[in-house]
DNA sequence: CTGAAAGCGCTTACAG
DNA sequence: CTGAAAGCGCTTACAG
């Protein structure tokens, strides 16, 4: 027969023995085969313990997830993590999170990590604050997700930019439908040469918006001209550059659908430079509905992304998971809606078929 | 001689007995003339204590600032408090605060209170989280300041909107100089009829900007025409309404200086409605330098307010005070700078004197 | 380096 | 409602 390999300290083969009553230093001491005072010394980083003993005790402290009695297991805090805090996005999200958190009497801790793939140095600070839950705007690496899982801290990904495993909770927007609605609005106005400035190909929401565009083009019986699709980073400058190249063509499009509002504002500038009037000579549609786009001239037709509502839903979900409850669903997409303003109109008469 | 009025429990006349060793429930019990278990019950909100006794014990617990042993006296957190989170302002500030806090390995807790004067219900939550310091965007009421002082939590007011007592730490911007620089820019271009849309009269920064305007007008030898100064809330809509009334006059101004960028964007719309071109027919200057104003057409000339730097300075100050150190100065104003873009030009030839 | 012993601050039955 | 007594989890000298 095999020997009794799993005849460990107190728990059965399972692992971190979480369910039972709280771990005490007496329990750690027994497991480590040392006295209570020795464990106390290790925990408080006092001297007078051999490196050997210290290592063994530390290992058990980690394994059993020991916490001092006062240190409440959970801080009443949701950690709201951004990759970049600069977008106009951020306020809308923070507001939504704050509103829900306040109602639950939970604090909102905001932190910004870089765009770099390397784990940010203060990620450990975030984790060690033992928040009720983490709400991450954009990605969490696999390692980060694993770390949170190990510590029992639930998390929700806000508007994920890449494909995630099925069990990762997320809240997003209906990007495909939004792209489709934006494009259909243009086809219904009579446009036939509709260009799309899409975002980076590996960003999920951009891929969805682009596919929505393609779907609407096809539904309108319009050819899928690959020349009408260009990719550019989601900034105003890059949107402008992309629009310049589109508008310089002899068979220039009569409408441009940009992957986000910033790019759309870049299109405005390119149009001005080219002496084209919006919407008379060129229709423009954006995506996001940032507050500012209602104030530019002409006010931008765009796909409204319900950022605040998404933040509310994400926070509710995160807090539910933080309470250890089961959530009705772990992933959801909130509906986008087309907001028609003044940057879209039928195409100029020379190009129009319908009018 | 006077009688021994201050012969209280253990401390001398001083007050909340902070310096000595930590307050225990035994000490509270002795002071209250009850047993240790009774105090324990009160603290943990258990039943089995008369209302009378409970009240007396609670009073002492508050007075001596009793804390459970585990609950560390200071959380490594700066509480960033907004009245309203919606402005584009907010992100810039949060970024600055976050950057500094991260370097000090301190968390940033963001909360939003209403505009109402009544103390927000979650203000107590904020205080009871025992942050290292509080950074308040806009006002703190006298009561709120007193509460923080009583708890020994230092605070800094960001961009104060009303006059504060001398000992209240604050960080602001040089609003008067900014208003002066904006107006001088217009007088130097040759404008003589320069209007100002100022903010509410009781908002300190607006009063300073208005005085800067007046000072520059006087320096340029221009008459102080009270008709050229109107007051309006700091929103785009109100700025637009104010501009409409200014532009409807027979002797309409050739330049408008708005108290903030939002108002200036309102002026843009009023100008469009009136068929006036900017800057050919009307010069416009704003205040704040929000990211968006570089993207509108034409890009707005405005007074740059170094929000991020202000946030950085305010956080450094707050954390310094939080460490119990003396700060070199408790109040400071950071310099504004005029950013000249394309919304300003010499006045139209018919009105100009110089050209 | 280690742990038996004393002690501290708090809580939990439980007797009055 | 109140508090003496027992107990818990942890830390602090201190003897080996």
Flag whether pLDDT at B226 surpasses 90: yes
Chain C bases closer than 7 A to any CB of the protein: 1-5, 8-14
> Does A339 fall in a domain?
no
Number of residues that this document lists for chain B: 355
Residue B70 banded pLDDT, cuts 50, 70, 90: low
What is the DSSP annotation of A230-242? EE--SSHHHHHHH
Average pLDDT over residues B100-129: 86
Region of poorest pLDDT, from A87-91, A198-202, A302-306, B206-210 = A87-91
B95 touches chain A (CB under 8 A): yes
- Rounded distance, CA A50 to CA A59, Å? 14
Contact B85 A77 (CB under 8 A): no
Residue B266 banded pLDDT, cuts 50, 70, 90: very high
The confidence score (pLDDT) of residue B279 equals 97
- Rounded distance, CA B206 to CA B285, Å? 15
CATH number at residue A22: 1.10.260.40
Structure confidence by residue, pLDDT tens digits, A167-211 = 999 999 999 999 999 999 999 999 999 999 999 999 999 999 999
Instruction: Please identify among residues 150-209 of chain B the ones whose CB lies closer than 8 Å to any CB of chain A.
Output: none
Flag whether pLDDT at A15 surpasses 90: no
> Does B355 fall in a domain?
no
Structure confidence by residue, pLDDT tens digits, B201-223 = 999 999 999 999 999 999 999 99
Region of poorest pLDDT, from A12-21, A258-267, B234-243 = A12-21
Flag whether pLDDT at A216 surpasses 50: yes
B352 touches chain A (CB under 8 A): no
The torsion angles phi and psi of A173, rounded to 5 degrees, stand at -125, 160
B294 touches chain A (CB under 8 A): no
pLDDT above 90 coverage of chain A, percent: 67
State whether B106 and B165 are in the same domain. yes
Residue A11 banded pLDDT, cuts 50, 70, 90: very low
Residue B107 banded pLDDT, cuts 50, 70, 90: very high
Closest alpha carbon within chain B to A267? B295
Q: How far is the CA of B60 from the C1' of D3 (A)?
A: 19
State whether B276 and B206 are in the same domain. yes
Flag whether pLDDT at B352 surpasses 70: no
> Does A298 fall in a domain?
yes
**Residue A91: partners with Cβ closer than 8 Å, 6 or more residues away:** B85, B86, B87, B88, B90, B91
Contact A159, A172 (CB under 8 A): yes
Contact A311, A332 (CB under 8 A): no
State whether B215 and B199 are in the same domain. yes
Domain limits at B47?
1-71
A69 touches chain B (CB under 8 A): yes
- Within residues 10-39 of protein chain B, the ones with CB less than 7 A from nucleic strand D are 34-38
- Rounded distance, CA B10 to CA B28, Å? 11
What is the phi-psi region of residue B317: left when phi exceeds 0, alpha when psi lies from -120 to 50, beta otherwise? Answer: alpha
Closest alpha carbon within chain B to A104? B122
Selecting from A112, A236, A265 the residue whose C-beta is nearest the C-beta of B95 gives A112
State whether B21 and B57 are in the same domain. yes
- Rounded distance, CA B303 to CA B286, Å? 6
Q: How far is the CA of A49 from the C1' of C2 (A)?
A: 8
Q: Which nucleotide is nearest to A42 (CA to C1')?
A: D11
Residue A73 banded pLDDT, cuts 50, 70, 90: low
CATH number at residue A195: 3.40.50.2300
- Rounded distance, CA A181 to CA A213, Å? 8
Flag whether pLDDT at A10 surpasses 80: no
Flag whether pLDDT at B230 surpasses 90: yes
The confidence score (pLDDT) of residue A352 equals 44
State whether B47 and B112 are in the same domain. no
> Does A166 fall in a domain?
yes
Contact B260, B279 (CB under 8 A): no
- Rounded distance, CA B44 to CA B48, Å? 11
Average pLDDT over residues B12-25: 57
A-B contacts (CB, under 8 Å): 98
> Does B56 fall in a domain?
yes
State whether B285 and B205 are in the same domain. yes
State whether A214 and A146 are in the same domain. no
Residue B7 banded pLDDT, cuts 50, 70, 90: very low
The confidence score (pLDDT) of residue A18 equals 45
Q: How far is the CA of A68 from the C1' of D9 (A)?
A: 9
The confidence score (pLDDT) of residue A71 equals 66
- Rounded distance, CA B200 to CA B195, Å? 16
The confidence score (pLDDT) of residue B340 equals 98
The confidence score (pLDDT) of residue A354 equals 42
The confidence score (pLDDT) of residue B332 equals 94
Structure confidence by residue, pLDDT tens digits, A311-334 = 999 999 999 998 888 888 889 999
Among B111, B132, B268, B292, the strongest candidate for a mutation testing the A interface, having the largest count of A CBs within 10 A, is B292
Structure confidence by residue, pLDDT tens digits, B127-158 = 888 899 999 997 888 889 988 987 788 999 99
Name residue A134's beta-bridge partners.
A79, A155
Structure confidence by residue, pLDDT tens digits, A110-151 = 999 887 767 677 888 888 888 999 999 978 888 899 889 877
> Does B347 fall in a domain?
no
Closest alpha carbon within chain A to B83? A95
Residue B243 DSSP class: H
**How distant, in Å, are the alpha carbons of A355, B130, B136, B165 from that of B322?**
69, 11, 14, 20
Whole-number average pLDDT of chain A: 88
> Does B344 fall in a domain?
no
Contacts of B86 in chain A (CB under 8 A): 91, 95
The torsion angles phi and psi of B333, rounded to 5 degrees, stand at -120, 130
Residue B117 banded pLDDT, cuts 50, 70, 90: low
The confidence score (pLDDT) of residue B325 equals 87
Residue whose Cα is closest to the C1' of C12: B37
Selecting from A70, A110, A125 the residue whose C-beta is nearest the C-beta of B110 gives A110
In angstroms, what separates the C-alpha of B310 from chain A's closest C-alpha?
16
State whether B324 and B287 are in the same domain. no
Neighbouring C-beta atoms of residue A66, cutoff 10 Å? 17
The confidence score (pLDDT) of residue B16 equals 43
Whole-number average pLDDT of chain B: 88
Query: Under DSSP, is residue B182 helix (H, G, I), strand (E, B) or coil?
Result: helix
Contact B50, B105 (CB under 8 A): no
Contact B228, B256 (CB under 8 A): no
Which of B71, B95, B127 delimits the end of a domain?
B71
Instruction: Please identify among residues 225-254 of chain B the ones whose CB lies closer than 8 Å to any CB of chain A.
Output: 236
Structure confidence by residue, pLDDT tens digits, B21-62 = 678 999 999 999 999 999 999 998 888 899 999 999 999 988
The confidence score (pLDDT) of residue A247 equals 97
Q: Which nucleotide is nearest to A66 (CA to C1')?
A: D9
**Residue B277: partners with Cβ closer than 8 Å, 6 or more residues away:** B271
Contact B109 A108 (CB under 8 A): yes
- Rounded distance, CA A264 to CA A238, Å? 10
Beta strands in chain A (DSSP E): 75-82, 107-112, 131-137, 155-158, 170-173, 194-198, 229-231, 255-258, 283-288, 301-304, 331-334, 337-339
Residue B19, burial from CB neighbour count under 10 angstroms (0-12, 13-18, 19+): exposed
Contact B98 A105 (CB under 8 A): no
Residue A20 banded pLDDT, cuts 50, 70, 90: low
What is the phi-psi region of residue B278: left when phi exceeds 0, alpha when psi lies from -120 to 50, beta otherwise? Answer: beta
> Does B164 fall in a domain?
yes
Closest alpha carbon within chain B to A240? B295
State whether B163 and B254 are in the same domain. no
Query: Under DSSP, is residue A137 helix (H, G, I), strand (E, B) or coil?
Result: strand
Residue whose Cα is closest to the C1' of C9: B24
Average pLDDT over residues A48-67: 89
Residue A96 DSSP class: H
Pairing label, strands A301-304, A337-339: antiparallel
**Residue B257: partners with Cβ closer than 8 Å, 6 or more residues away:** B179, B182, B183, B186, B194, B195, B196, B197, B213, B285, B287
Structure confidence by residue, pLDDT tens digits, B272-309 = 999 999 999 999 999 999 988 999 999 999 999 999 99
Chain D bases closer than 7 A to any CB of the protein: 1-5, 8-14
The confidence score (pLDDT) of residue B330 equals 85
The confidence score (pLDDT) of residue B95 equals 94
State whether B165 and B242 are in the same domain. no
Region of poorest pLDDT, from A116-125, A214-223, A302-311 = A116-125
How many structural domains comprise chain A? Answer: 3
Which of A71, A94, A120 delimits the end of a domain?
A71
Neighbouring C-beta atoms of residue A8, cutoff 10 Å? 12
- Rounded distance, CA B226 to CA B232, Å? 15
Structure confidence by residue, pLDDT tens digits, A31-42 = 999 999 999 999
Contact B95 A110 (CB under 8 A): no
The torsion angles phi and psi of B111, rounded to 5 degrees, stand at -140, 155
Closest alpha carbon within chain B to A90? B91
State whether B190 and B164 are in the same domain. no
State whether B180 and B165 are in the same domain. no
């Amino acid at each position: 027969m095999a020997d009794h390999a799993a005849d460990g300290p107190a728990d059965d083969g399972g692992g971190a023995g979480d369910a039972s009553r709280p771990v005490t230093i007496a329990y750690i001491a027994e497991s480590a085969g040392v006295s209570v005072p020795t464990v106390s010394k290790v925990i408080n980083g006092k001297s007078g313990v051999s490196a050997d003993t210290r290592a063994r005790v530390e290992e058990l402290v980690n394994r059993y997830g020991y916490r001092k009695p006062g240190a409440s297991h959970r801080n009443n805090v949701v950690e709201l993590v951004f990759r970049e805090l600069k977008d106009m996005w951020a306020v809308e999200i923070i507001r939504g999170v704050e509103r829900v958190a306040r109602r639950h009497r939970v604090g909102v801790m905001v932190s910004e990590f870089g765009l770099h793939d390397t784990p940010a140095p203060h990620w450990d600070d975030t984790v060690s604050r033992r928040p009720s839950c983490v709400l991450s705007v954009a990605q969490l690496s696999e390692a980060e997700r694993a770390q949170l899982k190990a510590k029992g801290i639930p998390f929700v990904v806000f508007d994920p930019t890449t494909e995630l495993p099925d069990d990762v909770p997320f809240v997003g927007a209906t990007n495909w439908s939004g792209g489709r609605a934006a494009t259909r609005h243009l086809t219904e106005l009579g446009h036939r040469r509709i260009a799309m400035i899409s975002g980076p190909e590996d960003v999920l929401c951009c891929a969805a918006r682009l596919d929505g565009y393609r779907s609407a083009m096809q539904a309108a019986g319009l050819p899928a001209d690959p020349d009408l699709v260009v990719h550019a980073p989601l900034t105003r400058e890059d949107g402008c550059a992309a629009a310049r190249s589109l508008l310089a063509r002899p068979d220039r499009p009569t409408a441009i659908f940009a992957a986000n509002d910033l790019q759309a504002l870049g299109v405005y500038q390119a149009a001005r430079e080219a002496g084209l009037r919006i919407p008379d000579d060129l229709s423009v549609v954006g995506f996001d509905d940032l507050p500012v786009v209602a104030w530019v001239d002409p006010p931008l037709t765009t796909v409204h992304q319900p950022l605040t509502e998404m933040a509310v839903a994400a926070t509710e979900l995160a807090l539910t998971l933080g309470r250890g409850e089961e959530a009705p669903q772990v992933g959801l997409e909130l509906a986008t809606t087309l907001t028609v303003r003044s940057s879209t109109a039928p195409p100029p008469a020379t190009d129009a078929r319908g009018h």
